[in-house]
Chains A and B, each alone.
Chain A
Amino acid sequence: MPQPYAIMAEFQTPADILHAAEKVREEGFRNWDVFTPYPIHGMDRAMGLKNSKVGWFSFIGGCTGYTTGMLLIWYMNAYDYPIVIGGKPMFSPFYSFPPSYELTILFGSFGALLGMLFLNRLPRLHHPLLKNRRFALATHDRYFMVIEANDPKYRQAETQRLLETLGSRHIELVEGD
C-alpha cells in the first residue's frame, strides 16, 4: 500500500473541533489543518496561527494604484501633450485625486484577492482530499481534522489514537496521489 497522504478525523460540532485543534497544536504537530464549512470563531488562536499577511499585498497594491494614477495623469496632461483648458493648471493633485483614489482602491482590491489566493496557494485544481468522498461533507455540516503523513510527529497508530481520544467517531486514511 502506498504511503497515505494524511489521516482524517471527522467531528460533529464546532466546539469539538476547536478543542481538538488546541490539543493537536499542543502535541506539536506542524502539517495539519482543520476543514470547516465556515470560518470558526477562535480557531486561529486555537491553531496558533499568526495574523494573516494579506494586508501587505493590499497595501502595496493601493500605493501602486495611487502612484500610477498621479503619474499617469501628470504624464498625459502636463508632460506628453499639455493643453490649456479653461485656464486650469496643467497638473494639480486636486483634479487628479479622484481617478488616483479610484485606482488606489482598484489595485488594493486586486492585491487583497490575489494576495489571498497566493498565500493559500490557490487556484489548485487537484488535491488528495478532494478525491475523498467523505470529505465532501466539509463544505456541508462536518468538521475535519487532517494531519498529514509527512508531519515529523506523525505515527499512524498513535495519531489515530490521539484523534480518537479527542472525540472523533470517524477516522480514515486519505490516499496519496
Chain B
Amino acid sequence: MADAVTSTISYPVKVTAPPGELTREPLVTPTRDIGWLSDAIAGVAEGKTPRWWWICFGISNTMLVVCWGMIFYLMSTGVGIWGLGHPVMWGWAIVNFVWWIGIGHAGTLISAILFLLRQRWRTSINRASEAMTIFAVMCAGIYPLIHIGRIWLGWWLFPIPNSNSIWPQFRSPLMWDVFAVSTYFTVSVLFWYMGLIPDLAVMRDRAKTKLRKFGYGLFALGWTGANRHWSNYEKAYLILAGLSTPLVLSVHSIVSLDFSVSQLPGWHTTIFPPYFVAGAVFSGFGMVLTLLVPLRRVLHLEDIIRVRHVELMCKVTLATGSIVGYAYAMEFFIAWYSGNPYEKFHFLSSRLADPYIFGPMFHLKPAPYWWAYFTMVSCNVLVPQLFWFKRIRTNMFIVFILSILVNIGMWFERFIIVVSSLNREFIPSNWGYYGPTWCDVLQFLGTFGLFFTFFLLFLRFIPLIAIAEVKGVTPQADPHHPLGGAKVGGTH
C-alpha cells in the first residue's frame, strides 16, 4: 500500500498565532501532517533491521542466556549460592524485585494518571513506557519466584487446591503482594494491548508481505476505525485508565506493606506506602528517560518525542525526587519523635553515621552501609535538583547521565531498606554483615538481558509510539481548528 499511502493533502489555511505569552510548544513539530506520523512511527518497525539493533540484540541475548543459566544453577543447587545468611535473609533478590517493579510504575502512571489529568504530551511516550512496564514487571516477577528456593512449589502462592488441603494464608501481606503484582501485570498487558489495536490495524494496512498482513491482522482483531467502534473504545480506554490509577497506587503500596507490616526498625513505618509509590514513579521516569533519550535520536523521532517531552519528564522526576527526599527526612523525624530507642538507633547509627560528617558529629562509629546511604541520598535527592535548570533539562546528554544516576540511586534505596534494616536488628548478637556473591550479580545482570531482549523485539515489531493517539493530538486532527479544515474565524 506504500504507493497510495504517501500523503497528498495540503493545508492552504493560514493560522494566525496566538499572542506570545499564550503559545505552547506544540506536541508534534507543526510542519508534520498525520500521514507523516504513520510513516515515521510505523517505519521503525518496517524496513531493514539496522545494524545497531543486531548488536544490542546479541548482547542482551547473551545476558538472557546468563539469566537462564543462573536460574538453572539456583534451581539445581539452592539459594545457598547467593550471599544470603542470617540475619539478612532477604538480599539482592528482593532488592531487585522491588527495584524492577518500581521501574514498572512509570508506564502505567503515564498511560493512566496522565491520561485522566489530560496531559496530552503523554501520547508520544506512553506506548514505549507501557512496554517498559510490562518487561520490568516480568523481570521483577522472576525474583519472588526463584527466591523461594524450591521453585517447583511456586504454585503454592496461588489458591489452587493441593494434596495437603492447605490454602494460602491471606493474613500475610506477602499474599497480597502476589495478587497485586499479578493483577498489575495482567492489567498492564490489557491496557497496552487495547492501545495497540488501532496501531496494529495501521501496521496491517501498510504491510507488504502476506505474513505481516496476516500476523498484524490477526492481532488487530479486524479493527476498521469505525466511529461506532471508537466510541466504545474511548470509553473502555477511559475506564481502564480509571481502574489503572488506583491499581498503580496500590501495587507499590502493597509491596511496601511486605516491609511495614513487620516490627523491624527501618521497616515498621506508616510513611512507606506513599514513599514507595513516589520512589517507584521516580525510578520509572528515570528509566523512561534512559530509554527514550537515546531512542528518539537513533530512530529519528525528534519531531514526535520533542525536547518538550523530555523536559516535562524531567520535571516529574524532580517532583517525585523531592517527595522521596521529604520521605527520607520524615523517617528521621519520626524516629526521633516516636521516642523509640530502636528506631533512633537504626536511623542514626545504621544509616546516617558516615565516617566523615555525621558520624563524628554524633560520636558514632560508621554504619556498615554508610556508603550505600550516601549514594542513595546523592542520587535520589541531590541529583534531581539539577532539573530545576532549563539548560540541564534541555541538554539530552546530561539528562541521559542523570537518569542513569536516578536508577542507581533507587537501587540503593531498595538495598538500604532491605539490607541495612535486617543486618542490625534488636539484639547485637543477632547482627551480621551481608554481601552478594557472583551469582547475585550475574542474576541481576541476567534480568537486564531479559528486559532488553524483549524491549528490542518490541521496537522491531510494534509501533513504539501510539500512532492513532499522536495523530489525535495534532491541530490537524481537530475539526474545529483551521488546520483540521474548519473555516477560519468560526467554530463550525
Q: Are B169 and A83 in touch, CB under 8 angstroms?
A: yes
Q: Are B233 and A39 in touch, CB under 8 angstroms?
A: yes
What's the Cα separation between A53 and B191 when bound, in Å?
Answer: 18
Q: Give the shortest distance, in Å, between A49 (CB) and chain B (any CB).
A: 5
Asked if A63 lies at the interface with its beta carbon under 8 angstroms from chain B, I say: no
The one of A72, A109, A115, A133 that contacts B191, using a Cβ cutoff of 8 Å: A109
Indicate the size class of the contact surface on chain B. Answer: 35 or more
B37 to chain A: closest residue by CB: A141
What's the Cα separation between A88 and B171 when bound, in Å?
Answer: 8
Q: Give the shortest distance, in Å, between A170 (CB) and chain B (any CB).
A: 12
Chain A residues with CB below 8 A from B38, complex form: 37, 139-141
Q: Are A136 and B1 in touch, CB under 8 angstroms?
A: yes
Chain A residues with CB below 8 A from B210, complex form: none
The one of B5, B166, B224, B471 that contacts A129, using a Cβ cutoff of 8 Å: B224
Chain B residues with CB below 8 A from A133, complex form: 1, 4
Chain A residues with CB below 8 A from B171, complex form: 77, 85-86, 88, 95
Asked if B265 lies at the interface with its beta carbon under 8 angstroms from chain A, I say: no
User: Interface digits, B6-38 against A, CB 8 Å rule (1 contact, 0 not)?
Assistant: 010100000000000000000000000111001
The one of B167, B180, B471 that contacts A102, using a Cβ cutoff of 8 Å: B180
What's the Cα separation between A67 and B225 when bound, in Å?
Answer: 36
Asked if A138 lies at the interface with its beta carbon under 8 angstroms from chain B, I say: yes
Q: Which of A99-137 contact B (CB under 8 A)?
A: 99, 101-103, 105-106, 108-110, 112-113, 115-117, 119-120, 122-127, 129-130, 133-137
Q: Give the shortest distance, in Å, between A100 (CB) and chain B (any CB).
A: 9
The one of B34, B231, B480, B485 that contacts A141, using a Cβ cutoff of 8 Å: B34
Chain A residues with CB below 8 A from B229, complex form: 120, 122
Asked if B104 lies at the interface with its beta carbon under 8 angstroms from chain A, I say: no
What's the Cα separation between A15 and B232 when bound, in Å?
Answer: 22
Q: Are B243 and A40 in touch, CB under 8 angstroms?
A: no
Q: Are B479 and A14 in touch, CB under 8 angstroms?
A: yes
What's the Cα separation between A76 and B230 when bound, in Å?
Answer: 42
What's the Cα separation between A83 and B468 when bound, in Å?
Answer: 53
Chain B residues with CB below 8 A from A13, complex form: 9, 476, 479, 484-485
What's the Cα separation between A51 and B223 when bound, in Å?
Answer: 20
What's the Cα separation between A88 and B169 when bound, in Å?
Answer: 11
Q: Are B485 and A109 in touch, CB under 8 angstroms?
A: no
Asked if A165 lies at the interface with its beta carbon under 8 angstroms from chain B, I say: no
Chain A residues with CB below 8 A from B33, complex form: 141
Q: Which of B268-312 contact A (CB under 8 A)?
A: none
- The CB with the most chain B CB atoms within 10 A, among A18, A108, A120, is that of A120
What's the Cα separation between A81 and B183 when bound, in Å?
Answer: 25
Chain A residues with CB below 8 A from B469, complex form: 38
Asked if B110 lies at the interface with its beta carbon under 8 angstroms from chain A, I say: no
Chain B residues with CB below 8 A from A108, complex form: 239, 243
What's the Cα separation between A173 and B206 when bound, in Å?
Answer: 22
Q: Give the shortest distance, in Å, between B62 (CB) and chain A (any CB).
A: 36
Chain A residues with CB below 8 A from B331, complex form: none
Q: Are B167 and A76 in touch, CB under 8 angstroms?
A: yes
The one of A42, A53, A72, A124 that contacts B480, using a Cβ cutoff of 8 Å: A42
Asked if A176 lies at the interface with its beta carbon under 8 angstroms from chain B, I say: no
Q: Which of A1-56 contact B (CB under 8 A)?
A: 12-19, 21, 33-44, 47, 49, 51-55
Q: Are A116 and B218 in touch, CB under 8 angstroms?
A: no
Q: Are B233 and A33 in touch, CB under 8 angstroms?
A: no
Asked if B76 lies at the interface with its beta carbon under 8 angstroms from chain A, I say: no
Given A52-B232, A116-B194, A141-B7; A98-B183 close (CB under 8 Å):
no
Chain B residues with CB below 8 A from A17, complex form: 479
Q: Are A113 and B240 in touch, CB under 8 angstroms?
A: yes
A99 to chain B: closest residue by CB: B179
Asked if A96 lies at the interface with its beta carbon under 8 angstroms from chain B, I say: yes
Chain A residues with CB below 8 A from B479, complex form: 13-15, 17-18, 40-42
Chain B residues with CB below 8 A from A54, complex form: 232, 235-236, 239
A34 to chain B: closest residue by CB: B227
The one of A37, A109, A123 that contacts B34, using a Cβ cutoff of 8 Å: A37
Asked if A160 lies at the interface with its beta carbon under 8 angstroms from chain B, I say: no
Asked if B202 lies at the interface with its beta carbon under 8 angstroms from chain A, I say: yes
Asked if B170 lies at the interface with its beta carbon under 8 angstroms from chain A, I say: yes
A109 to chain B: closest residue by CB: B187
Chain B residues with CB below 8 A from A124, complex form: 221-222
Asked if B118 lies at the interface with its beta carbon under 8 angstroms from chain A, I say: no
The one of A18, A37, A85 that contacts B225, using a Cβ cutoff of 8 Å: A37
A39 to chain B: closest residue by CB: B230
Asked if B353 lies at the interface with its beta carbon under 8 angstroms from chain A, I say: no
What's the Cα separation between A106 and B185 when bound, in Å?
Answer: 10
B482 to chain A: closest residue by CB: A15
Q: Are A38 and B236 in touch, CB under 8 angstroms?
A: no
Q: Are A120 and B227 in touch, CB under 8 angstroms?
A: no
Q: Are A138 and B224 in touch, CB under 8 angstroms?
A: yes
Q: Give the shortest distance, in Å, between A131 (CB) and chain B (any CB).
A: 12
Asked if A73 lies at the interface with its beta carbon under 8 angstroms from chain B, I say: yes
User: Interface digits, A77-99 against B, CB 8 Å rule (1 contact, 0 not)?
Assistant: 10011010110100000011011
Asked if A168 lies at the interface with its beta carbon under 8 angstroms from chain B, I say: no
Q: Are A33 and B227 in touch, CB under 8 angstroms?
A: yes
A sample of 10 inter-chain contacts (CB < 8 A) reads A14-B485, A16-B485, A35-B224, A35-B225, A62-B243, A109-B240, A115-B232, A116-B232, A116-B235, A122-B223
Q: Given contacts A39-B231, A43-B230, A52-B232, list 10 more A-B pairs with CB under 8 A.
A: A14-B484, A17-B479, A44-B231, A99-B179, A102-B176, A102-B183, A112-B243, A129-B224, A138-B224, A140-B35
Q: Which residues of A contact B (CB under 8 A)?
A: 12-19, 21, 33-44, 47, 49, 51-55, 58, 62, 69, 72-73, 76-77, 80-81, 83, 85-86, 88, 95-96, 98-99, 101-103, 105-106, 108-110, 112-113, 115-117, 119-120, 122-127, 129-130, 133-141
